[in-house]
């Protein structure tokens, strides 16, 4: 019989992942929801991508609601007059810009205060509507260059065009502050800048406790689509993401980093050690039973979305050398999304690997994810948590990983690590394992044993169940003192008090 969910409601807030995308982080969230049936989950995803049409996962009975919010784009034309903004919106924008440009120094307080004030402007889907945000950014930039700011790090030149571009991008991102969160006793934010902005606004408006899972690579990273932007605009975006992360670390009751790597990064960006509870990734061993090698033909597996930001280029560059060294080797790209199939096909054709590469959607049964290969090439994108690596280890396959982020601490000595951006080193390691069956089986067995010891789903569910209980449970009933109408004699201790205190026992 299914257990009855408790009255504690958890708002699980993501940035376009679970339950709408079948990616690594979506699988992690699904594990949490289905493993903690005693809690009622209100699922919310806030994204700046295209709005998903339907959930990609079936929703269990303890999910009360599931909503997706896509941040609206700017629809007003240049010639149309904007509504006059309230005075406090302009002041908040000025604070935000000043703190943004000194966020690496002592401006985190100003930045957070600006965010808080903007979040308090209720009933405004665009908190910066009518605010001359470009002018505020230019003014703050001039103050910094004049040496009046607290951060002495030199800034690149900011043109008026750069300021307009940066202001447009930040105005769009800050729309997340207007998203209304469902009623819940706890907000659990999993993801990047966009969902964290919505979580912070909910925290400031309602006082609901915030649990933050730090599962991704450093937040202020540059995205591939931003390569064409000017250095000044990239600086604004990087500092904005760092500022939002710092604000999240300051406001969250608890922060649960996914690894020592994420733990250290959070500390460097202002998280208090007492608020950090490290909870490694975990998978269900029953989903990855460690099947034997199915084919004698050499094969390599890589799991990822296949997008421009997924590590695909390095894999294909390395596989050119692998195919030349071990003829007949097949590369299986597992988990390629429909949106990225064309991009993958173009990259494969450009590399001349059309006959040796197979594209596979993410299989419904996890058992089929890694069984096609003899070696797993773990080349993550910069935003990927180590969830796929743990899956590969649990599958019992030998793993060659790129030494970025938490890969080294997760894999330990049970696999091979190569430097980042070195396709030849990756190819050499893969070829060595393809030619040495005994060694790859030894490494595969060791990797599975390590995953069984440190990265099982029951540990994740147990720890998060305790965190939810601590943060979402109602406060204890207030204690009342018994007030006597007639004061007790001062010379003699009442018998009940003597018994409670252990006197004369």
> Does the residue 502 lie in any domain?
no
Task: Please indicate, yes or no, whether residues 307 and 448 belong to a single structural domain of this protein.
Answer: yes
Q: Are residues 190 and 335 in the same domain?
A: no
Q: What is the DSSP letter of 374?
A: S
379: in domain: yes
- Mean residue pLDDT of the chain comes to 83
Answer yes or no: do 48 and 68 share one domain. Answer: yes
Q: How confident is the model at residue 79 (pLDDT cuts 50, 70, 90)?
A: very low
Residue for token pair 């590399």: 351
Report residue 138 as tokens. 């230019």
H or E stretch at 378: strand 375-378
Give the 3-state secondary structure of residue 403: coil
pLDDT of residue 312: 84
Same domain, yes or no: 144 and 255: yes
Range of lowest pLDDT (39-43, 48-52, 437-441): 48-52
| CA distances to 20, 108, 275, 278, 288 from 259, in Å | 25, 25, 15, 6, 22
- pLDDT for 305 equals 74
Residues 243 and 369 reside in one and the same domain:
no
Token code pair at residue 337 = 């999304």
Crossing angle of the two packed helices 231-251 and 160-173, in degrees rounded to 10: 30
321-361 pLDDT, tens digit per residue, is 999 999 999 999 888 877 778 888 888 888 888 889 988 88
Q: Which domain holds residue 424?
A: 285-455
How many CA atoms, within 13 angstroms, populate the side-chain half-sphere of residue 168?
14
Q: 437-454 vs 423-434: helix axis angle to the nearest 10?
A: 110
Task: Examine residue 397 and state whether it is found in any structural domain, yes or no.
Answer: yes
Q: Does 40 map to a domain?
A: yes
Residue 231 to residue 171: CA distance in whole angstroms: 19
In a domain, 8, yes or no: yes
Percent share of the chain, pLDDT over 70: 84
User: For residue 493, is it within any domain?
Assistant: no
Cα–Cα dist 184/64, whole Å: 11
51 pLDDT above the threshold of 60: yes
The pair phi, psi for residue 98, each rounded to 5°, is -65, -45
Q: What is the pLDDT of residue 169?
A: 92
Tell me, yes or no, whether 331 and 399 share the same domain.
yes
User: What pLDDT was estimated at residue 499?
Assistant: 40
Distance CA 62, CA 461 (A): 15
For residue 149, tell me if it sits in a domain.
yes
Per-residue pLDDT band at 493 (split at 50, 70, 90): very low
Rg for the chain, CA atoms, rounded = 26
Angle separating helix axes 133-145 and 87-100, nearest 10 degrees: 40
Answer yes or no: do 124 and 227 share one domain.
yes
Is the pLDDT reported for residue 224 higher than 80? no
Q: Please indicate, yes or no, whether residues 19 and 6 belong to a single structural domain of this protein.
A: yes
Q: How far apart are CA 132 and CA 92, in angstroms?
A: 12
104, 180: one domain: yes
Q: Beginning with the edge strand found earlier in the chain, give each strand of the sheet holding 416-418 in spatial order.
A: 357-360, 330-334, 299-303, 375-378, 398-402, 416-418
What is the count of structural domains for the chain? Answer: 2
Which residues have C-beta within 8 Å of that of residue 487, sequence separation ≥ 6?
none
Tell me: do 290 and 242 sit in the same domain.
no
Residue 310 has pLDDT above 70, yes or no: yes
* Count of CB atoms situated within 10 Å of the CB of 503: 10
256 and 289 together in one domain: no
Q: From the CB of residue 52, how many other CB atoms can be counted at a distance below 10 Å?
A: 16
| Confidence (pLDDT) at 485 | 55
Helix, strand, coil percentages (3-state) for the chain, rounded to 5, are 45, 15, 45
Among 421, 422, 424, 398, residue whose Cα is nearest residue 411 = 398
Question: Helices (DSSP H) in 269-405: which residue ranges?
Answer: 312-325, 341-351, 387-394
How much is the pLDDT for 6?
59
Question: CA–CA separation, 104 vs 337, rounded Å?
Answer: 37
Q: Strand, coil or helix: what is 146?
A: coil
What's the angle, vertex CA 474, arms to CA 471 and CA 477, rounded to 5?
A: 130
- Residue reference for tokens 């700011």: 149
pLDDT the model gives residue 336: 82
CA nearest to 27, candidates 472, 330, 366: 366
472 and 448 in a common domain: no
Taking the C-alpha atoms of residue 272 and residue 258, their distance in angstroms, rounded to an integer, is: 16
492 located within any domain: no
Tell me the CA distances in angstroms from 466 to 253, 254, 384, 412, 463, one per residue in order.
14, 12, 26, 28, 5
pLDDT at 478: 63
Taking every pair of C-alpha atoms in the chain, what is the biggest distance, in angstroms?
A: 98
**Which residues on adjacent β-strands are paired with residue 254?**
211
What's the pTM value of the predicted model, to 2 decimals? 0.84
CATH number for position 250: 3.40.50.2000
């Amino acid at each position: 019989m299914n257990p009855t969910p408790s009255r504690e409601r958890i708002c699980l807030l993501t940035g376009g992942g679970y339950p709408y995308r079948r990616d690594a982080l979506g699988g992690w969230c699904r594990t949490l929801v289905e493993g903690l049936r005693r809690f009622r989950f209100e699922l919310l995803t806030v994204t700046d991508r295209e709005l998903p049409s339907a959930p990609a996962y079936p929703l269990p009975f303890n999910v009360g609601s599931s909503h997706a919010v896509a941040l609206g784009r700017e629809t007003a034309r240049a010639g149309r007059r904007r509504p006059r903004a309230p005075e406090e919106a302009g002041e908040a924008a000025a604070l935000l810009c000043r703190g943004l440009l000194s966020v690496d120094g002592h401006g985190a307080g100003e930045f957070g205060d600006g965010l808080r004030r903007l979040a308090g402007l209720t009933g405004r889907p665009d908190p910066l509507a009518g605010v001359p945000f470009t002018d505020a950014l230019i003014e703050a930039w001039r103050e910094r260059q004049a040496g009046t700011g607290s951060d002495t790090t030199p800034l690149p030149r900011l043109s008026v065009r750069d300021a307009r571009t940066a202001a447009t991008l930040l105005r769009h991102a800050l729309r997340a502050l207007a998203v209304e969160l469902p009623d819940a006793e706890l907000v659990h934010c999993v993801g990047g800048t966009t969902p964290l902005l919505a979580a912070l606004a909910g925290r400031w408006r309602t006082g609901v406790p915030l649990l933050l899972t730090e599962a991704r690579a450093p937040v202020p990273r540059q995205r591939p689509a931003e390569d064409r932007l000017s250095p000044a605009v990239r600086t604004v975006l990087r500092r904005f993401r760092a500022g939002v992360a710092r604000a999240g670390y300051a406001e969250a009751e608890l922060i649960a980093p996914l690894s020592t790597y994420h733990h250290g990064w959070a500390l460097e960006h202002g998280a208090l050690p007492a608020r950090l509870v490290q909870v490694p990734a975990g998978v269900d061993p029953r989903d990855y039973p460690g099947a034997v090698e199915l084919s004698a033909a050499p094969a390599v597996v890589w799991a990822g979305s296949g997008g421009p930001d997924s590590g695909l280029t390095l894999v294909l560059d390395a596989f050119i050398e692998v195919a030349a060294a071990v003829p007949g080797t097949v590369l299986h790209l597992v988990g390629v999304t429909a949106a990225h199939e064309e991009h993958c096909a173009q990259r494969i054709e450009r590399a001349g690997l059309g006959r040796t590469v197979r594209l596979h959607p993410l299989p419904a049964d996890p058992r089929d994810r890694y069984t096609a290969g003899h070696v797993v090439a773990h080349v993550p994108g910069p935003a990927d948590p180590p969830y796929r690596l743990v899956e590969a280890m649990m599958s019992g396959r030998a793993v060659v990983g790129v030494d970025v982020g938490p890969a080294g601490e997760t894999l330990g000595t049970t696999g091979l690590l190569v430097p980042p951006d070195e396709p030849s080193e990756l190819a050499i390691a893969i070829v060595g394992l393809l030619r040495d069956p005994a060694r790859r089986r030894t490494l595969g067995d060791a990797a599975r044993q390590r995953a069984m010891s440190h990265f099982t789903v029951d540990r994740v569910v147990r720890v998060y169940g305790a965190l939810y209980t601590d943060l979402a449970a109602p406060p204890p009933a207030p204690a009342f003192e018994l007030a006597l109408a007639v004061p007790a004699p001062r010379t003699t201790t009442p018998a009940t008090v003597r018994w409670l205190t252990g006197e004369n026992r």
